[in-house]
A and B are shown apart, each in its own frame.
Chain A
Amino acid sequence: MNAFIQNKKPLSLITLAILGALLSGCSGDAETIIIEREPIVEDDHDDGHDHSGEPGGGGDITIESLGRIAVLSSEASALAIMDIDDGAMLDEFSLSDSSAALYASPDNRYAVISMRSMDTTDFIDGGLWREDHTDHLHDYKQAPQMSDFSVNGSRPTHIGTYDGQMTIFYDGDAEAGVPAGVKVLTDENIAAESDTLPTLEFTMNMHGVAKSRGDILVSTVRREDSESTSNAKILPDQVGIYHWHDGEYQLEQVLATPCPDLHGAAENEDYIAFGCGDSVLVTHQHDDEFESVKIDNIAEIDGLRVGTIYGHENSALFFGIASSRATDERAMVSINPENNTMKIVEWRSEAGADPVAYSFSGDGDTFVILDNLGFVAKYVLHEHNGELEFEFESAIGVSNEDISAMPEGHNFSMTMSQNDEHLYIADPIAQHILQIDLTEMSIEDDIELDIIPSRLVWLGIAKTSDHNSDDHD
């Protein structure tokens, strides 16, 4: 065979380099998204046994606890987790942004820290949660801990929770050319650190809001400026119905009624309400379609617009805050989405008081307003002359301090327990949290703090699956 030249060239360096890179540098990747859907409930076939003690059936492992409170201190850039049962601080975590907003996760397990300016939302596990193991409930009590998980997006602004889901609305950034978007997550997502969450992406930025109901996402839609009926074009003027299907949100419907200068939204079991420049837009699902109607602003709030709405799954009424940026004037209204009426709610307050926080109670029967003088007013949903309304019941002062001593940039804040009739109010001057019995409207206990509280949120195991649907600014 010596007539033929055999190739004796050494293996070239480049070949070796390629092979080396191929063998060493490659590492695969795996991502998982799990989204819990509505469970299927089946009646058990035959046996005729007694269904004793539902829902807390035989093997339930439950924990008796008043819960925990996450306290945010902007001054200390820290978040403390307090144990309500013994008033002890369980742990303190430092935060990278002192202007963070604080929420509870949909099932109240995590403290949700949203840092708009940093385009990120972080989570701290409060350590108290319940798992439904289908044949029984299982409660867990662990030390709080910072989650490695964070959800990123441009300008997370409106965050709301409803029925186990949290919707984060990302306003986007016109200057950077980043469009708005929505992400929907559950406590399971946070626990599983799901990299990919159900996400809706728009083509334009907007200061919008979205509400999730299972597979359905009802979100604001911003049109081209030339078509938009909004005065401030960054505010959307339409509402779209999106359906989660094949791994994406698909736009199924745009509500026929426009809602110029849309800002603020809330939902209850049947309805979703949006604040428009001139009215409140109410929509609800009828068969497969969403029907919508506008409740025009009543004469009493002329010159104002409803820009913030509170709702609760069990509350037939929405609570709206009408205001004007120009005049700083404010009014409160109840909105009845069933008969499409709007009515003024009289706020009883001391002179010079300004409301600083609003909240439905855990069961949705009560609505409270906290003001900057340390008074909390309680309203109950009550039928009066055949008409449902927020009826003022009582108010108490919760602070004996000199209000002028309020630290700069601070105010009273509150959070509602989701497992009993307790309201917790943080007093930055006294540096404590007061536990208020909401039924009696009496101060029961206090929790001393080492930090100056700026916001707080209740964490723990909710009594039922009811959830607030507050819409915070």
Chain B
Amino acid sequence: MRKLSKVAALVCAALSMPAVAQTIEGTVATSQGKPIVGAKVELEGLGLQVLTDAKGNFLFEDVKEGKNEIHVSAQGFTHLHEDVDVLSSTPSKITFTLSKSPIEVIDVIASPIHLSSMESAIPVHVLGGEALRRDQAATLGDSLEQLPGVHTSFHAKVASTPIIRGLSGPRVLIAQNGLDVSDVSRVGPDHAVTSEASTAQQIEVLRGPATLFYGSGAIGGVVNVVDQRVPTSNDTKGEWLLETSSVDKQKLGSFNATIGAGDFAFYADGFFRDSDDYNVPVAPELELEDDDHGHEGEGEGEDKKHGKNFKVANSSEKSSGFTVGTSYLLDNGYVGVSVEQYNREYGIPGHSHEDEEGHGDEEGHEHGEEGHSDEEVFADLEQTKIQFLSKLSVRDSIISGFNTRIGYTDYEHAEVENSEVGTNFKNETFEARVEVIHQSFWGFNGGVSFHYKKSDVEAQGSEAFTPPSETEMFAVALMEERHIGDVLLQFGARTERVTLTADRVLLPSLDAHEHDDRHMDEDGHDHEDGHDHEHEDVHGGDASIIRTFYAEHEFTPVSVSLGALWDFTPGYNLGLSISRSQRAPSASELLSFGPHIGTRTYEVGALFALEQHDGIDEIGLTDEIIDLETASNIDLSFRKTQGHIGFIFNVFYNQVDNYYYQIDTGLFADDGHNHGDEEGHEDEHGGELPVFIFQTDDVILNGFEAQIAWQVNDTFNTTVFSDFVRARLKNGGNLPRTPPFRFGTQLSYETETISAHLDITRYQAQERISAFETETDGYTLVDLHADYTLPYFNESMAVYFKGENLSDTEARVHTSFLKDLAPRPGRNFTVGIKGYF
């Protein structure tokens, strides 16, 4: 699975040649003196890298005189950074010694500065190799949730996205090979991310200086899904996988393969996944109405006694994707292009009208499957993604190389209801990014990035809660690092110009009103009388006037990040990072005005404001200045990188000024569906959504992540981890959907043929809630994974078994919009077979 670049291959081939002046030659070995095969040795600033041969030897030829910085890495070992002085007369012969690392360290691919979980001022996390295959799920959020500091928005398994240190949505940028995935997942929790984990090589979670090449919106971080769609090697290699799961009858098949012919390399991957509605241990819907009355406990107790088989209705999914790519390998890099077609069809739970009517339902407990089947809503998603990627190193006194990424994506998803398209979301994006990497100057390695992106986003239909808009961005970013003695300095800066234009922003006359019955009823069930409600007059009446606006926003966010990593004593380091990043609010945060069934709210953007005059609520244009969101972050990490015990402790303090978030107005508005024709007034009551409006406030997020790993012996490893984030408003109050305190342990047993992992993760109850939330109970998940490498076919195949949620626990995810409708899946068994070539 290792890549061997063309450059590396050439240099390796040259190993047998006699050493001449201006070469660097050496060996990579363990502390016991055993050579390490396949270790990656890289000349920093030049982008030249070689792999060590069977004797652990490597050679660089034609190296410039003077100081060269070398970075050595190998799987299972700590990484090493050394300065090497090359003299014109003496050939240099060096031995690099790597220590065992109990925590797996994987480098971030394609970054001008070095980034890994151990070696950067701010922790980055990389999920790759076997760990990625173990954790991969149908959605990106669920795939990454095992990483410290990363939680999932668990959207009934169909559209989960990652939450990094309590931040998600537009604050987390999701990239595929460094280019924006350009879906609409940032604007709605029910919108899936168009990136597939099962064909990916690794998934990187970046924070701090590293994010600044991607986009300044990434206050929370960047998730970059990396694959080899533009191959960097012409070696024949690949992997494939087939599996099936019990909880949702999921069937998954995936493969990726690279082959070469001369200077050309070709790549293909594909996947197919089909799953049914998933089983849950309890009735999926929590009776919300009056928590203190304790209805839900009784109801579920009864149901459970009857041995009902519960499912989350409308949570099935079917997706497939196919990517082909090719590249031309040059002596100094590669140039390549790829095309991907991605399709996904998934149910949107919580969308059925019966659910919305829930509180009007007399019995409250009879939410049978039958009730949903007739009005299921599903999303039919399609995306075409074209990427041009190139990395070229040049021989120049100033510039050492160019990394070029150009992408075009055409995204569309239709939300289909009763076989009719309700809303069509589109996103057409063109993006280009060129990184110019410079030669090492006064010890500085790094580069400058020029970045352009233009997106046309629109949502047409009954739930077109955000008007069509065009966003154009141009950015310049700088990323540098420099070693000064034992200290590594890393810094990044980025400024961009974001223009957001919307030709038709709508401010409809909102039939909003308070729900007296909801707030005042003593008994949550007695709604009958409420139906002849007094807001009839608000519903009917005048011809509605929709005010229309042209809106143009121009933002110039500036972000700066500075970090230092100090290897104060061998095997330990201390990292400090401070950053100030600014984010331009997104179109949906500003311009929305309409029902959004994905969040089951009527969303109103920050361009509008709720005013109260003489007891009458009304929404007009805001008087507030639409400003940037500014995050100031301090991050401290302390790590032990060598020995049998390793650890990473991070604490962070993040103050976000002018944070855009939604608050409950206490009002209700029509959901935009045509109910009237069926049953008249009673339906009106059901088809209502609470009105949430975006506003800004200063918030503080702080917390920590801790990870301690103990390599007991060659086969046993045990890891404990914990993470916590506290997200609160500066003036008091909590932010909604904040991940709860979490801790867990992983016990690993690995031999040549067997690999087994037992994960126990405890999610504590979340009691720090915002005004419109309810508390969520804690739960413990127990997962078991086991791989067995088959002793045939050159040991290139393995069978595996996964058991998830073995205790069949009711697990409601506080960070989910659907926590009261869709708990995590119950006990699930997966069996599969995978192979490599």
Contact = CB atoms under 8 A, between A and B. Distances in A.
A61 B540 contact: no
B294 interface: no
Interface string B604-645: 000100000110101111010111101000000000000000
A39 B83 contact: no
A416 B142 CA distance: 68
Interface string B491-535: 101010000010011111111000000000000000000000000
A7 B614 contact: no
Given A29-B555, A135-B542, A35 B560 contact: no
B551 interface: yes
Interface stretch (A20-28, A254-262, A266-274, A277-285): A20-28
Contacts of B64: none
A299 interface: no
Which of A15, A37, A41, A135 counts the most B-chain CB atoms under 10 A from its CB?
A135
B129 interface: no
Contact of B509 (A4, A134, A244): A134
B580 interface: yes
Contact of A31 (B540, B553, B616): B553
Interface stretch (A42-50, A200-208, A346-354): A42-50
Contacts of B677: 46
A44 B540 CA distance: 7
Contact of A134 (B495, B546, B582, B625): B546
B626 A22 contact: no
A51 B543 contact: yes
Contact of B562 (A19, A42, A247): A19
Contact of A39 (B539, B545, B557, B560): B545
A54 B542 contact: yes
Contacts of B508: 134
B793 interface: no
B642 to A, nearest CB: 15
B560 A23 contact: yes
Nearest to B504: A37
B649 to A, nearest CB: 25
Nearest to A215: B550
A36 to B, nearest CB: 5
Interface in A120-176: 131-136, 138
A34 B606 CA distance: 13
B291 interface: no
B580 A23 contact: yes
B308 interface: no
Contact of B554 (A5, A31, A191): A31
Contacts of B536: 49
B562 A22 contact: yes
A232 to B, nearest CB: 37
Interface string A33-71: 111111111111111110110100111010000000000
A286 interface: no
Contacts of B551: 32-35
A42 B493 contact: no
Nearest to B675: A46
Contacts of A7: 67, 83, 443, 483-485
Chain B, interface size: which category? 35 or more
A139 to B, nearest CB: 10
B620 A28 contact: no
B82 interface: yes
A27 B509 CA distance: 37
B537 interface: yes
A245 B346 CA distance: 38
Nearest to B489: A11
A135 B553 contact: no
A22 B491 contact: yes
B39 interface: no
A33 B501 CA distance: 9
Contacts of A135: 509-511, 538, 541-542, 544, 618
Nearest to A9: B484
B571 interface: no
A188 interface: yes
A4 B545 contact: no
Give chain A's interface secondary structure class.
loop
A10 B484 contact: yes
B607 A34 contact: yes
Nearest to A26: B558
A38 B548 contact: yes
Nearest to B84: A4
A40 B544 CA distance: 8
A49 B547 contact: no
B392 to A, nearest CB: 28
B558 A27 contact: yes
A196 interface: yes
B578 interface: yes
Nearest to A40: B546
Interface in B551-595: 551-558, 560, 562, 578, 580, 582, 584
Contact of B442 (A12, A37, A41, A196): A12
Given A39-B545, A247-B501, A5 B540 contact: no
B837 interface: no
A188 B94 CA distance: 72
Given A8-B485, A36-B547, A44-B540, A30 B552 contact: no
B85 interface: yes
Contacts of B94: 3-4
B558 A6 contact: no
A70 B330 CA distance: 76
Interface string B84-103: 11000000001000000000
A40 B545 contact: yes
B676 interface: yes
A13 interface: no
Contacts of B627: 30
Contacts of B676: 45-47
Contacts of B538: 135
A192 interface: yes
A69 B758 CA distance: 80
A192 B621 contact: yes
Contacts of B619: 133
B67 A5 contact: yes
A132 B547 CA distance: 9
A1 interface: yes
Which of B84, B506, B549 counts the most A-chain CB atoms under 10 A from its CB?
B549
Interface in A317-336: none
A273 B587 CA distance: 41
B552 A33 contact: yes
A6 B485 CA distance: 7
A54 to B, nearest CB: 6
A59 B73 CA distance: 71
B531 to A, nearest CB: 15
Contacts of B483: 7
Contacts of B560: 22-23, 26
Contact of B616 (A11, A35, A61, A131): A61
Given A51-B543, A58-B537, A30 B504 contact: no
Contacts of A134: 507-510, 544-547
Nearest to A131: B620
A9 B443 CA distance: 10
Nearest to A53: B542
Contacts of A29: 554-556, 628
Given A7-B484, A32-B626, A35-B550, 14 more contacts: A6-B83, A11-B489, A29-B555, A30-B584, A32-B553, A34-B621, A37-B504, A37-B550, A44-B540, A47-B540, A61-B614, A134-B544, A135-B542, A247-B501
Interface of A: 1, 3-12, 15, 19, 22-23, 26-49, 51-52, 54, 57-59, 61, 131-136, 138, 188, 191-192, 196, 244, 246-247
Interchain residue pairs A-B with the least CB separation, the first 3: A49-B540, A134-B509, A47-B540
17 contacts: A5-B83, A8-B484, A10-B484, A26-B558, A28-B556, A28-B558, A30-B626, A31-B555, A36-B548, A39-B545, A42-B543, A43-B543, A48-B540, A131-B620, A132-B547, A134-B546, A138-B618
